[in-house]
Homo-oligomer: A and B are copies of this chain.
């Protein structure tokens, strides 16, 4: 009568008296459950300790390796998108200040950052005509100085391009991984929600009232601490459904949207049907009827 016993170190064959006779995998009966503690005692022998250490390290490394899912990739990418937004803002403000030494009137007349960065490449005379500047307060600077500003403008455009590429990349991952959340939330909002919840699993398990406030932690804790007004929305504030309703209805819209987003996250995590589009239409109709 032989028994077979498996652990991290491999498969062991034991005789009737529970002595290890081999660590080859061969035909044998599985060890009955009631005898398992007796066998585990054997492995308290010090000679196994190092082997256990090595085997466990290997298992842990494999575990870490397997833990990298779409979640992690989405979280890294959206974090970089958020960073890119900040950096672009800083650089464009710097460019406005810098270029204002040359043609200060332009910065006042062009509010949109992107258009401003584009316009810089044009010659000064053209811009003066286009924006009918009477007498410019800007200095007459050599091309040598303007080129330096144009280099910064090019850099800003490149950063904007990188942001677009990141968004495309996110869309491709999320189309497979969380189609409902993507459909209803849009790329950035959906990715930010996953980032804030630290994964789709946790997002699916959160109550929708928490989803509504993800990203508004600062205001929430201020509310709890000082009794100031409670926040109505976190990152979902930037979602068109919340953006397009009048102010008095923002809270309600945020609540309804968070509700559906929460359902979407659950459908996606438990591999349910595709309902994102349906939910979106429902929401739009419900808010129109108000």
Contact = CB atoms under 8 A, between A and B. Distances in A.
Contact of A137 (B64, B148, B155): B64
Given A135-B61, A155-B159, A72 B101 contact: yes
A282 interface: no
Given A155-B162, A162-B155, A73 B61 contact: no
A77 B148 contact: yes
* Chain A interface residue number, banded: 35 or more
A94 B87 CA distance: 13
A56 interface: no
A91 B83 contact: yes
B98 A136 contact: no
Contact of A135 (B58, B137, B138, B145): B58
Contact of A139 (B68, B87, B165): B68
A29 interface: no
> Copies per complex?
2
Given A148-B165, A162-B151, A169-B148, A76 B61 contact: no
Interface in A153-208: 155, 158-159, 162, 165-166, 169, 172
A152 interface: yes
A82 to B, nearest CB: 10
Contacts of A152: 80, 162
Interface string A119-158: 0000000000000000111111100110010011001001
A65 interface: yes
Nearest to A95: B80
A77 B155 CA distance: 14
A16 interface: no
Nearest to A145: B73
A149 to B, nearest CB: 8
A97 B76 contact: yes
A284 B94 CA distance: 38
A36 interface: no
Report the 3 A-B pairs with minimum CB-CB distance, sorted nearest first.
A68-B139, A76-B98, A64-B137
